[in-house]
A and B are shown apart, each in its own frame.
Chain A
Amino acid sequence: MRAVFKREFRAYFQSPLGYVFIAVLYFFTAYYFFTYNLYSNTTDMSNLFRQLFSVVLFLVPILTMRLMSEDKRSKTDQLLLTAPVPRIGIVLGKYLSALCVYLIAISGALLMALVLSAYAAPDWPVVIGNLLGLALLGTCLIAICMFLSSLTESQVISAVCGFAVSLFLILVDALVYVVSTPAFQTFFSYLSFNDHYNGFTYGIIDFSNVLFFVSIAVMFLLFTTAVLEKRRWS
């Protein structure tokens, strides 16, 4: 697992992808920081984090699009799958490498908080809660998008499917008001990433929200492993 992690992490920075991803996320963080905090003279960062939710939803598919599909297309998976590394180790190595790049990218928000603290003390529990929420959102989204990447050989298809999932996750909030069956309403409202995420933007670390993101991540990591496993039987 360590070998795969090391290689994948390095690969992000041997191509422009890692730099571009981090730069774009930093850019949006800085932009919202300027408009919501500096311009309006407040230390309340929750608006910034609320905006980052949708930015992250659209950037993560880009981060993960090549993760599994590239190997399949270029046949480098032969090297990995015939090495004495279990399939779950390969999946975890790749997953953690993307997660690390993601964490570096969202650390921009922490920088902004430090900048704020030079002028006035920000509400640290809220900032930490927000950062944790953002990190968990990534944990979950990366697992989902990586699973999508494992289904196809094409990076483009994997990214497009990732966007579709992201859009759906935004739309799912509206679905609650559209459907009339109470069972579906409960289902969709529970599925809403935004609801689970918003708890963190108030600085509330609700264990059920943590569990929500982590369990979805675990589920999709297992799905990805299953896809790899299935490939050898097909």
Chain B
Amino acid sequence: MVEVKHLVKHYGAKVALADVSFSIRAGEVVGLLGLNGAGKSTTMNILTGYLSATAGTVRIDGHDILSDAKAAKRCIGYLPEAFAFYPEMRVNEFLSFCCDLKGVTSRRAEREAHISAICERVGLTQVRTRMIRNLSKGYKQRVGFAQALVGSPKVLILDEPTVGLDPSQIIEIRELIRQSGQSSTVIVSSHILSEIQAICDRIIVIHGGRVIADDTPERLSRKMLATHRAIVRVAGAPEAVIAALGAVPGVQAVRALAEKEPGAWDYSIDGQPDTDIRADVFRALAAADLPLLGTYHNEFSLEEIFLNLVGEQQVEQEEGAQP
């Protein structure tokens, strides 16, 4: 549905995108993840034809965004990062204008039905006759979302759709995105990892104008999963536990973390890389008659994965820079 090949974008001497390629199948909900300034918005602006790439191609549903712009843009609904309205317009009027722009049927009844359906879906029905400038930020963002839905586009491109909203509004917008994912291909950008994790089937991590990871959230975290590290909760005196765990072959370090229950502490255990220490830990504790109350997989959160990926990238770059 969306094919991006070797996008390069320079702003003067500054390189915003060094080389970005990905392809997205119909029906996927994809998160573009990156720190501020990583190139997410630039990528989206190029995808929607607002900016042109210095090099590289974008095809939307088979249409090139430059040579076949009209057909390509027809497939896209776009919510820009700071969505700007004509403040003096009413919600109804604005959506009707968007229908005109996107060439949605000019037959009054059909158009009215289309706008009503969208307003119903995003929860704008009560404010349809109000001026946009008088709406709250949450409603304004919904108007932006509604505008992107006009013409039932095949691809929805949403640039940081939840920025500046309060938590309940964020949940509403996320729910809208999830619903939209059932009927269209969705590309969402964000620098908030939990958000992307909550709504996307697939994550593309962009850093320094390059794609540094492209996978499902689960696989990304599995990749970083460390079986040689574990957190265990054990009942008993910390000294005895540390002694018992220290005797397990392969264990390199044991740290008591905190007393989580009366008489039971959490410990973090580091083993040798590429060994699974969990079974040995269980046996050692059983032999010492120290009840093991729980083991926690030391799964990285997306935050950690992200920082790891970014860190790796920086190390590579530094190594590459050395002669």
Q: Do chains A and B stick together as partners?
A: yes
Tell whether A74 is near chain B: CB-to-CB under 8 Å. yes
Q: Contacts A82-B76, A82-B78 known; A7 to B70 CB distance under 8 Å?
A: no
> Chain A's nearest CB lies how many Å from the CB of B226?
43
Q: Which of A4, A6, A14, A232 contacts B88 (CB 8 A)?
A: A14
Tell whether A219 is near chain B: CB-to-CB under 8 Å. no
* Interface segment, one of A83-91, A136-144, A190-198: A83-91
Tell whether A181 is near chain B: CB-to-CB under 8 Å. no
A3 and B97 alpha carbons, distance in the complex (Å): 6
CB nearest to B144 among chain A residues = A79
Query: Which residues 39-82 of B sit at the A interface, judged by CB distance below 8 A?
Result: 48-52, 69-71, 73-74, 76, 78, 80, 82
> Chain A's nearest CB lies how many Å from the CB of B140?
13
Q: Which of A6, A79, A80, A234 has the most CB of B within 10 A?
A: A79
Verify B103–A84 contact, CB threshold 8 A: yes
Verify A78–B80 contact, CB threshold 8 A: yes
Verify A80–B101 contact, CB threshold 8 A: yes
> Chain B's nearest CB lies how many Å from the CB of A98?
16
List, in ascending order, chain B residues with CB within 8 A of A83's CB: 73, 98, 101-102
Q: Contacts A74-B84, A75-B80, A76-B86 known; A81 to B97 CB distance under 8 Å?
A: no
Tell whether B22 is near chain A: CB-to-CB under 8 Å. no
List, in ascending order, chain B residues with CB within 8 A of A6's CB: 97, 100
> Chain A's nearest CB lies how many Å from the CB of B251?
57
Verify B73–A76 contact, CB threshold 8 A: no
Q: Which of A76, A78, A86 contacts B69 (CB 8 A)?
A: A86
Produce 1/0 per residue, A191-234, CB < 8 A to B.
Answer: 00000000000000000000000000000000000000000111
Verify A3–B100 contact, CB threshold 8 A: yes
A74 and B76 alpha carbons, distance in the complex (Å): 22
List, in ascending order, chain A residues with CB within 8 A of B76's CB: 82
Q: Which of A3, A14, A15, A74 contacts B101 (CB 8 A)?
A: A3
Tell whether B85 is near chain A: CB-to-CB under 8 Å. yes
Q: Which of A75, A84, A86, A234 contacts B74 (CB 8 A)?
A: A84
CB nearest to B103 among chain A residues = A84
List, in ascending order, chain A residues with CB within 8 A of B100's CB: 2-3, 6-7
Verify B84–A75 contact, CB threshold 8 A: yes
> Chain B's nearest CB lies how many Å from the CB of A3?
3
Verify B48–A82 contact, CB threshold 8 A: yes
Tell whether A11 is near chain B: CB-to-CB under 8 Å. yes
Q: Can you list 5 A-B contacts (CB < 8 A)?
A: A15-B88, A78-B50, A81-B49, A83-B98, A83-B102
Question: Which of B's residues lie within 8 Å of A, judged by CB?
Answer: 11, 48-52, 69-71, 73-74, 76, 78, 80, 82-86, 88-89, 97-98, 100-103, 147
Q: Which 7 A-B pairs have CB atoms at the shortest separation, nearest pair first?
A: A3-B100, A75-B84, A84-B73, A83-B101, A82-B48, A76-B84, A84-B74
